[in-house]
Structure 1
Protein backbone atom coordinates (compact mmCIF):
# COMPACT_ATOMS: atom_id res chain seq x y z
CA UNK A 1 0.00 0.00 0.00
CA UNK A 2 2.66 2.42 0.93
CA UNK A 3 4.86 2.56 -2.16
CA UNK A 4 6.57 5.79 -1.18
CA UNK A 5 10.04 5.25 0.16
CA UNK A 6 11.30 7.67 2.71
CA UNK A 7 14.82 8.93 2.08
CA UNK A 8 17.01 10.45 4.65
CA UNK A 9 19.00 13.43 3.37
CA UNK A 10 22.39 14.63 4.47
CA UNK A 11 26.03 14.09 3.86
CA UNK A 12 27.44 10.64 3.49
CA UNK A 13 30.61 9.77 5.35
CA UNK A 14 32.68 10.30 2.19
CA UNK A 15 31.11 13.71 1.50
CA UNK A 16 31.67 14.75 5.09
CA UNK A 17 35.33 13.72 4.83
CA UNK A 18 35.82 15.77 1.65
CA UNK A 19 34.23 18.85 3.24
CA UNK A 20 36.36 18.36 6.36
CA UNK A 21 39.57 18.16 4.28
CA UNK A 22 38.74 21.27 2.24
CA UNK A 23 37.81 23.33 5.31
CA UNK A 24 40.92 22.07 7.12
CA UNK A 25 43.16 23.06 4.20
CA UNK A 26 41.79 26.60 4.14
CA UNK A 27 42.08 26.92 7.91
CA UNK A 28 45.69 25.72 7.79
CA UNK A 29 46.46 28.20 5.02
CA UNK A 30 44.87 31.02 7.01
CA UNK A 31 46.89 30.09 10.10
CA UNK A 32 50.09 30.35 8.05
CA UNK A 33 49.21 33.53 6.12
CA UNK A 34 47.49 35.76 8.70
CA UNK A 35 50.59 36.28 10.91
CA UNK A 36 52.61 37.26 7.81
CA UNK A 37 50.07 39.94 6.89
CA UNK A 38 49.88 41.19 10.49
CA UNK A 39 53.68 41.59 10.48
CA UNK A 40 53.45 43.41 7.16
CA UNK A 41 50.91 45.84 8.59
CA UNK A 42 53.32 46.60 11.45
CA UNK A 43 56.26 46.96 9.03
CA UNK A 44 54.30 49.31 6.80
CA UNK A 45 53.20 51.39 9.81
CA UNK A 46 56.86 51.71 10.84
CA UNK A 47 57.73 52.83 7.32
CA UNK A 48 54.86 55.34 7.24
CA UNK A 49 55.96 56.59 10.67
CA UNK A 50 59.15 57.92 9.09
CA UNK A 51 57.03 60.66 7.51
CA UNK A 52 56.56 62.12 11.00
CA UNK A 53 60.27 62.16 11.83
CA UNK A 54 61.81 65.60 12.10
CA UNK A 55 64.55 66.36 9.53
CA UNK A 56 64.32 62.91 7.95
CA UNK A 57 65.50 64.36 4.63
CA UNK A 58 68.80 65.42 6.22
CA UNK A 59 69.60 61.96 7.57
CA UNK A 60 71.94 59.60 5.76
CA UNK A 61 70.65 56.34 4.26
CA UNK A 62 72.45 54.38 7.00
CA UNK A 63 70.75 56.43 9.72
CA UNK A 64 67.35 55.83 8.13
CA UNK A 65 68.04 52.10 7.88
CA UNK A 66 69.04 52.00 11.55
CA UNK A 67 65.80 53.78 12.46
CA UNK A 68 63.81 51.18 10.54
CA UNK A 69 65.78 48.31 12.09
CA UNK A 70 65.01 49.60 15.59
CA UNK A 71 61.31 49.95 14.81
CA UNK A 72 61.13 46.46 13.32
CA UNK A 73 63.07 45.00 16.23
CA UNK A 74 60.60 46.53 18.71
CA UNK A 75 57.72 45.02 16.72
CA UNK A 76 59.46 41.61 16.43
CA UNK A 77 59.59 41.70 12.64
CA UNK A 78 62.37 39.35 11.57
CA UNK A 79 61.52 38.86 7.90
CA UNK A 80 63.06 42.11 6.65
CA UNK A 81 66.76 42.83 6.39
CA UNK A 82 67.56 46.49 5.82
CA UNK A 83 70.76 45.55 3.99
CA UNK A 84 68.94 43.36 1.45
CA UNK A 85 65.37 44.63 1.35
CA UNK A 86 65.54 48.41 1.83
CA UNK A 87 66.68 50.87 -0.84
CA UNK A 88 66.92 54.60 -0.28
CA UNK A 89 67.14 57.12 -3.10
CA UNK A 90 67.90 60.79 -2.47
CA UNK A 91 66.97 63.41 -5.03
CA UNK A 92 67.40 66.98 -3.88
CA UNK A 93 65.51 67.37 -0.61
CA UNK A 94 63.33 64.35 -1.31
CA UNK A 95 63.96 60.79 -0.14
CA UNK A 96 62.23 57.68 -1.48
CA UNK A 97 62.42 54.65 0.79
CA UNK A 98 61.49 51.32 -0.78
CA UNK A 99 60.98 48.06 1.08
CA UNK A 100 60.61 44.90 -1.01
CA UNK A 101 60.69 41.46 0.57
CA UNK A 102 59.33 37.94 0.30
CA UNK A 103 58.08 35.62 3.01
CA UNK A 104 57.94 31.88 2.43
CA UNK A 105 56.01 29.63 4.78
CA UNK A 106 55.89 25.82 4.56
CA UNK A 107 52.36 24.51 4.11
CA UNK A 108 52.21 20.74 3.67
CA UNK A 109 55.09 18.38 2.87
CA UNK A 110 56.94 20.02 -0.05
CA UNK A 111 54.35 22.76 -0.65
CA UNK A 112 55.04 26.33 0.46
CA UNK A 113 53.31 29.68 0.31
CA UNK A 114 55.32 32.63 -1.07
CA UNK A 115 54.06 36.13 -0.30
CA UNK A 116 55.72 39.19 -1.85
CA UNK A 117 55.51 42.71 -0.46
CA UNK A 118 56.64 45.95 -2.08
CA UNK A 119 56.08 49.30 -0.33
CA UNK A 120 57.53 52.77 -0.78
CA UNK A 121 57.21 56.20 0.76
CA UNK A 122 58.54 59.59 -0.28
CA UNK A 123 59.46 62.17 2.36
CA UNK A 124 60.96 65.63 2.27
CA UNK A 125 60.54 68.57 -0.07
CA UNK A 126 60.72 68.22 -3.83
CA UNK A 127 62.23 71.72 -4.06
Structure 2
Protein backbone atom coordinates (compact mmCIF):
# COMPACT_ATOMS: atom_id res chain seq x y z
CA UNK A 1 0.00 0.00 0.00
CA UNK A 2 1.33 3.42 -1.00
CA UNK A 3 1.11 6.43 1.22
CA UNK A 4 1.11 9.87 -0.36
CA UNK A 5 1.88 11.86 2.77
CA UNK A 6 4.36 14.67 2.28
CA UNK A 7 4.78 14.18 -1.46
CA UNK A 8 1.46 15.90 -2.25
CA UNK A 9 1.82 19.31 -3.80
CA UNK A 10 -0.44 21.88 -5.38
CA UNK A 11 -2.85 24.63 -4.61
CA UNK A 12 -6.10 24.18 -2.76
CA UNK A 13 -9.40 25.00 -4.40
CA UNK A 14 -10.09 27.92 -2.06
CA UNK A 15 -6.66 29.41 -2.82
CA UNK A 16 -7.30 29.07 -6.54
CA UNK A 17 -10.68 30.80 -6.20
CA UNK A 18 -9.12 33.65 -4.20
CA UNK A 19 -6.33 34.14 -6.74
CA UNK A 20 -8.77 34.12 -9.67
CA UNK A 21 -11.03 36.58 -7.81
CA UNK A 22 -8.11 38.93 -7.23
CA UNK A 23 -7.02 38.71 -10.86
CA UNK A 24 -10.62 39.37 -11.96
CA UNK A 25 -10.89 42.43 -9.70
CA UNK A 26 -7.62 43.87 -11.01
CA UNK A 27 -8.79 43.25 -14.59
CA UNK A 28 -12.07 45.03 -13.81
CA UNK A 29 -10.17 48.04 -12.43
CA UNK A 30 -7.98 48.19 -15.53
CA UNK A 31 -11.03 48.02 -17.81
CA UNK A 32 -12.78 50.80 -15.87
CA UNK A 33 -9.81 53.13 -15.26
CA UNK A 34 -7.97 52.64 -18.56
CA UNK A 35 -10.45 54.63 -20.69
CA UNK A 36 -10.30 57.52 -18.20
CA UNK A 37 -6.56 57.90 -18.77
CA UNK A 38 -6.97 57.44 -22.52
CA UNK A 39 -9.43 60.36 -22.52
CA UNK A 40 -7.00 62.38 -20.44
CA UNK A 41 -4.31 61.97 -23.09
CA UNK A 42 -6.81 63.44 -25.57
CA UNK A 43 -7.36 66.43 -23.26
CA UNK A 44 -3.59 66.93 -22.94
CA UNK A 45 -3.25 66.66 -26.71
CA UNK A 46 -5.94 69.30 -27.24
CA UNK A 47 -4.07 71.64 -24.89
CA UNK A 48 -0.82 71.00 -26.74
CA UNK A 49 -2.47 71.76 -30.09
CA UNK A 50 -4.00 74.93 -28.67
CA UNK A 51 -0.60 76.03 -27.38
CA UNK A 52 0.86 75.71 -30.89
CA UNK A 53 -1.72 78.07 -32.44
CA UNK A 54 0.10 81.25 -33.54
CA UNK A 55 -1.12 84.33 -31.70
CA UNK A 56 -3.22 82.33 -29.24
CA UNK A 57 -2.52 84.88 -26.49
CA UNK A 58 -4.34 87.53 -28.56
CA UNK A 59 -7.49 85.48 -29.13
CA UNK A 60 -10.66 86.07 -27.12
CA UNK A 61 -11.82 83.72 -24.38
CA UNK A 62 -14.65 82.58 -26.65
CA UNK A 63 -12.22 81.67 -29.45
CA UNK A 64 -10.01 79.71 -27.06
CA UNK A 65 -12.96 77.83 -25.52
CA UNK A 66 -14.39 77.17 -28.98
CA UNK A 67 -11.07 75.74 -30.15
CA UNK A 68 -10.97 73.42 -27.14
CA UNK A 69 -14.62 72.45 -27.61
CA UNK A 70 -13.94 71.50 -31.23
CA UNK A 71 -10.92 69.41 -30.25
CA UNK A 72 -12.94 67.64 -27.55
CA UNK A 73 -15.76 67.00 -30.03
CA UNK A 74 -13.41 65.48 -32.60
CA UNK A 75 -11.81 63.26 -29.94
CA UNK A 76 -15.12 62.32 -28.22
CA UNK A 77 -14.11 63.80 -24.86
CA UNK A 78 -17.21 64.27 -22.69
CA UNK A 79 -15.72 64.51 -19.19
CA UNK A 80 -14.55 68.13 -19.47
CA UNK A 81 -17.30 70.69 -19.00
CA UNK A 82 -17.07 74.39 -19.95
CA UNK A 83 -16.81 75.41 -16.29
CA UNK A 84 -13.72 73.18 -15.90
CA UNK A 85 -11.72 75.49 -18.19
CA UNK A 86 -10.17 78.61 -16.62
CA UNK A 87 -8.55 81.25 -18.82
CA UNK A 88 -6.28 83.91 -17.32
CA UNK A 89 -5.16 86.77 -19.57
CA UNK A 90 -3.01 89.76 -18.77
CA UNK A 91 -1.45 91.79 -21.55
CA UNK A 92 0.39 89.31 -23.76
CA UNK A 93 0.25 86.57 -21.11
CA UNK A 94 -2.19 83.66 -21.35
CA UNK A 95 -2.74 80.73 -19.01
CA UNK A 96 -5.30 78.05 -19.77
CA UNK A 97 -6.09 75.56 -17.00
CA UNK A 98 -8.33 72.52 -17.26
CA UNK A 99 -9.17 71.04 -13.88
CA UNK A 100 -11.70 68.22 -13.84
CA UNK A 101 -12.53 64.96 -12.11
CA UNK A 102 -14.06 61.72 -13.30
CA UNK A 103 -16.07 59.40 -11.05
CA UNK A 104 -16.52 55.91 -12.44
CA UNK A 105 -18.66 53.29 -10.67
CA UNK A 106 -16.89 49.96 -10.25
CA UNK A 107 -19.61 47.81 -8.70
CA UNK A 108 -22.38 48.42 -6.23
CA UNK A 109 -21.52 51.45 -4.12
CA UNK A 110 -17.80 51.24 -4.94
CA UNK A 111 -16.55 54.01 -7.25
CA UNK A 112 -13.19 55.39 -8.30
CA UNK A 113 -12.42 59.12 -8.43
CA UNK A 114 -9.66 60.41 -10.72
CA UNK A 115 -8.67 64.10 -10.65
CA UNK A 116 -6.77 65.90 -13.40
CA UNK A 117 -5.22 69.36 -13.54
CA UNK A 118 -3.54 70.44 -16.79
CA UNK A 119 -2.44 73.87 -17.90
CA UNK A 120 -0.20 75.79 -20.25
CA UNK A 121 1.19 79.30 -20.33
CA UNK A 122 2.27 81.45 -23.27
CA UNK A 123 3.45 85.00 -23.57
CA UNK A 124 5.26 86.99 -21.07
Aligned to 2:68: 68
Counterpart for residue 109 of structure 2:
110
Q: Deviations over 1:24-51 (max 9, x none)?
A: 1110000000000000001101111112
User: For 1:56 and 1:70, how far apart are their aligned partners in 2?
Assistant: 15
Secondary structure, aligned partner of 1:106: strand
| Separation of aligned partners in 2, 1:80 and 1:30 | 21
1:77–1:3 Cα change, 3 Å:
closer
Once the two structures are TM-superposed, the CA of residue 8 in structure 1 deviates from its matched residue by 2.0
The aligned counterpart of 2:33 is 33
Q: How does 1:1-127 map to 2 (within 5 A)?
A: 5-82=5-82, 84-123=83-122, 125-126=123-124
Where does structure 1 lack aligned partners over 5 or more consecutive residues? none
**Any stretches of 5+ residues in structure 2 without a counterpart?**
none
Call closer, same or farther: CA 1:3–1:11 in 2, change over 3 Å.
closer
Q: Which moved more, 1:64-73 or 1:54-63?
A: 54-63
Q: Classify 1:8/1:2 alpha carbon distance in 2 versus 1 (closer, same or farther; 3 Å).
A: closer
> TM-score, length-normalised on structure 2?
0.94
What is the rounded CA distance, in whole Å, between the counterparts of 1:94 and 1:5 in structure 2?
78
Cα RMSD between the aligned structures? 1.6
Deviations 1:47-89 (A, max 9, x none): 111121011111011110010000000000000012x100000
